[in-house]
């Protein structure tokens, strides 16, 4: 018989099982435990894991970034590089992390027992997720502010009559007239009843248009002024942080309360919440799409979105935009995928999950584009400007362009409530995944201290991040938030991803990793994945990293340019996570024994504790099962010492009879 996999433990007589352990979804599983025997918990069923991963992958970027990238990079033609990088980088990394986490059954720090020299990669993942969680919840507080403000008969961002409005504010329905008045004033005329009168010169329409070719008319919408002057109460720059916005502070506190109670019991509680938070956005997107398609001008917006510009495919930046969007959208290298899959049943089909979730995530991005552009097309038609003049990305889309478009709809408060509640649920799912990576990573690394006090530790992390976010809800907070967003998960995240892929594919080895996958799924994956993990995916990730570094520009917010000290602070923030990789490598080498080469060999090999979390999963036979003459797998069960004694007594009784 072929040897069993003992993962460094003393060999002993063990029960051998057939290699095929594919299992059935929904089958009961005992809670997974760490190697010290403590209860980690597990998903209630497969659907909880699936929805958690889907909710984490499908985030705010699918709604407020992808549609803009698609329009800017050639419309429908952008889908070609998008799908290309999905196949060669996105899905391979997604499958790699799901199978990695599921096999080891532990968090993103402890899992680096696979190669202790690179334990710092796990700490870097946790640090990146920790930093992003701080400002991500502030974005959720913006969403909550707009959500609560939508519970009114008239949306508060539709008029220019508020105390905070400026003289440049022009309401959407009057933009055409405002532009005509502006044009008339530029040539010294008087506008009345739709006509421009000029007492000093008989300016013809042709002369007027020629004169205005070199003029710029800037319309400031009431929605933009509501966002800047009421919600943010924005200051002049990061040097002027100003006072705290108590409305945003309370919204941020509410966001953390929701997050805490959703994660207080780990996956046992968050697994129930995602049934709503992961599915509700799809319901709202479908409702908004149906409503959007009935609006005048909607098809102009959709055509603007999907119209292919094949010439754009010759621009390298288009391909890099697609690669970066795929990478960040699927959420590799944050530690979240490793964490969520670590709570799976050992024989869960993570290969199937990786394919379905990755494709669903990208399909959601495309679908969201139709929703956004149908309403944006209606808005452009209503205010009489091109679609390209009103579309935006990020906060500009979520808090300026789309709210203004919604305000033009009948029963506008209803659509605003649906839209912002959808964004709230999208943000929560991503926040769950990142924060769970932080919590599980640290609890699994320090189980004796933290696991018995998990509730208090979760509360402490939430309170700490709430306090760290207070400067971000000040009048200058948007500048700080933008800086943290710019640097915390850019180059550093790419370095972590490249290191992770190279270590598993080359140092640990694809052959060993394929054996691990076979233990879980019952069969080896296609050689295609080995080619991707060893060659294609690392090359793509290195390309994205180099492109990101070469094309890096200092942080900006709109037209505001940050001082040099802010740029330096941002780089220190980026390096705060990456520095863990060499730091813990040095610590591992110092703690090892022997000559330098002996130490190096020691810390680049799996430890004796590496392997599946459950003891019964560590003893699986890696070989093909033996078959009897009828082709049925032979199960060779070796009795324990107690069973041998019982069998001996039974034989004595039989011989006596």
Q: At residue 330, what are phi and psi to the nearest 5 degrees?
A: -80, -20
Residue 365 labeled ligand binder: no
CB burial string 94-123: b at 16+ within 10 A, e below: bbbbbbbbbbbbbbbbbbbbbbbbbbbbbb
d(CA 553, CA 548): 9
Cα angle 407-411-415, degrees, rounded to a multiple of 5: 65
Residue 615 labeled ligand binder: no
Closest-CA residue to 400 (of 608, 143, 226): 226
d(CA 248, CA 139): 10
Residue 264 labeled ligand binder: no
- As a whole number of Å, the CA-based R_g of the chain is 29
Residue 522 labeled ligand binder: no
d(CA 50, CA 46): 6
DSSP states of 64-108: HTHHHHHHHTTGGGGHHHHHHHIIIIIHHHHHHHHHHHHHHTS-T
Is the torsion defined by CA of 341, 344, 348, 353 positive or negative? negative
Residue 550 labeled ligand binder: no
d(CA 107, CA 441): 4
The total of other beta-carbon atoms located within 10 Å of residue 345's CB is 26
Residue 231 labeled ligand binder: no
Mode of pairing for the β-strands spanning 556-557 and 560-561? antiparallel
State how far the alpha carbon of 384 is from the alpha carbons of 54, 206, 219, 301, 379, in Å: 39, 21, 12, 13, 8
Residue 568 labeled ligand binder: no
C-beta separation of 273 from 49 below 8 A? no
Count helices and strands in the chain by DSSP H and E runs: 31, 4
d(CA 440, CA 444): 6
Who's near 222: CB < 8 A, 6+ residues apart? 157, 158, 159, 160, 162, 165, 169, 171, 172, 404
Residue 608 labeled ligand binder: no
DSSP states of 365-403: HHHHHHHHHHHHHHHHHHHT--GGGT---THHIIIIIHH
State how far the alpha carbon of 587 is from the alpha carbons of 147, 180, 469, 501, 602, in Å: 48, 70, 32, 22, 13
SS (H, E, C) 479-526: HHHHHHHHHHCCHHHHHHHHHHHHHHHHHHHHHHHHHHHHHHHCCCCC
Who's near 619: CB < 8 A, 6+ residues apart? 4, 5, 6, 14, 15, 16
Residue 311 labeled ligand binder: no
d(CA 284, CA 427): 15
- What stretches of 125-240 adopt beta strand conformation (E)? 190-192, 195-197
d(CA 334, CA 320): 20
State how far the alpha carbon of 472 is from the alpha carbons of 233, 408, 601, in Å: 12, 31, 46
Token reading at 69:
């990238």
d(CA 483, CA 554): 9
Q: Output the known binding site.
A: 55, 57-58, 62, 329, 361, 426, 429-430
Which residues define the annotated binding site for Na(+)? 55, 57-58, 62, 329, 361, 426, 429-430
């Amino acid at each position: 018989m072929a040897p069993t996999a003992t993962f460094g433990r003393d060999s002993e007589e063990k029960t051998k099982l057939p290699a095929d352990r594919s299992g059935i979804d929904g089958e009961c599983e005992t809670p997974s435990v760490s190697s010290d025997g403590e209860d980690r918990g597990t998903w209630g069923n497969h659907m909880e894991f699936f929805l958690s991963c889907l909710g984490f992958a499908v985030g705010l970027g699918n709604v407020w970034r992808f549609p803009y990238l698609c329009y800017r990079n050639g419309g429908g033609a952008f889908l070609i590089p998008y799908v290309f990088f999905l196949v060669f980088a996105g899905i391979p990394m997604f499958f790699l992390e799901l199978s990695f986490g599921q096999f080891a059954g532990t968090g993103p720090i402890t899992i680096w027992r696979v190669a202790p020299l690179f334990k710092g990669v796990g700490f870097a993942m946790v640090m990146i997720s920790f930093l992003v969680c701080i400002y991500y919840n502030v974005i959720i507080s913006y969403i909550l502010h707009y959500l609560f403000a939508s519970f009114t008969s008239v949306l508060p961002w539709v008029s220019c009559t508020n105390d905070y409005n400026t003289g440049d504010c022009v309401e959407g329905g009057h933009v055409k007239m405002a532009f005509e008045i502006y044009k008339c004033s530029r040539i010294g005329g008087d506008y009345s009843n739709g006509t421009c009168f000029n007492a000093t010169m008989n300016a013809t329409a042709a002369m007027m248009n020629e004169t205005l070719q070199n003029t710029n008319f800037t319309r400031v919408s009431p929605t933009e002024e509501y966002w800047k002057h009421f919600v943010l109460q924005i200051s002049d720059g990061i040097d002027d942080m100003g006072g705290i916005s108590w409305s945003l502070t309370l919204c941020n506190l509410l966001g953390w309360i929701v997050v805490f109670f959703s994660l207080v019991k780990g996956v046992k509680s968050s697994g129930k919440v995602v049934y709503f938070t992961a599915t509700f956005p799809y319901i709202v997107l479908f409702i908004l799409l149906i409503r959007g398609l009935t609006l005048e001008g909607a098809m102009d917006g959709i055509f603007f979105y999907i119209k292919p510009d094949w010439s754009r495919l010759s621009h390298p930046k288009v391909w890099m935009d697609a690669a970066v969007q795929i990478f960040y959208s699927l959420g590799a290298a944050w530690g979240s995928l490793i964490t969520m899959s670590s709570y799976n049943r050992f024989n869960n089909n993570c290969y199937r999950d990786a394919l379905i979730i990755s494709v669903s995530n990208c399909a959601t991005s495309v679908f969201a584009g139709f929703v956004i552009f149908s309403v944006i097309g209606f808005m452009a038609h209503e205010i009489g400007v091109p679609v390209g003049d009103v579309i935006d990305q990020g906060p500009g889309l979520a808090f300026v362009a789309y709210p203004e478009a919604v305000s033009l709809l009948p029963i506008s408060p209803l659509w605003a409530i649906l839209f912002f509640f959808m964004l709230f649920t999208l943000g929560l799912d991503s926040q769950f995944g990142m924060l769970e990576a932080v919590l599980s990573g640290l609890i699994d690394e320090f189980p004796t201290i933290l696991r018995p006090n998990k509730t208090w530790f979760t509360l402490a992390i939430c309170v700490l991040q709430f306090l760290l976010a207070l400067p971000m809800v000040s009048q200058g907070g948007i500048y700080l938030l933008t800086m943290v967003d710019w640097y915390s998960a850019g180059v550093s995240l790419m370095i972590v991803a490249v290191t992770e892929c190279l270590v598993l594919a080359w140092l640990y080895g694809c052959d060993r990793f394929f054996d691990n996958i076979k233990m879980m799924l019952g069969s080896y994956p296609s050689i295609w994945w080995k080619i991707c993990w060893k060659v294609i995916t690392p090359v793509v990730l290195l390309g994205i990293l180099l492109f990101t570094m070469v094309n890096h520009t200092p942080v900006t917010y709109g037209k505001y340019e940050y001082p040099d000290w802010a740029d330096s602070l941002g780089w220190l923030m980026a390096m705060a996570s990456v520095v863990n990789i060499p730091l813990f490598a040095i610590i591992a080498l110092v703690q090892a024994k022997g000559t330098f080469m002996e130490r190096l060999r020691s810390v680049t090999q799996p430890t004796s504790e590496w392997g599946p979390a459950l003891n019964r999963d560590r003893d699986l036979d890696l070989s093909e099962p033996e078959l009897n003459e009828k082709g049925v797998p032979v199960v060779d069960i070796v009795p324990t010492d107690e069973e041998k004694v019982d069998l001996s007594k039974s034989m004595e009784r039989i011989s006596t009879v």
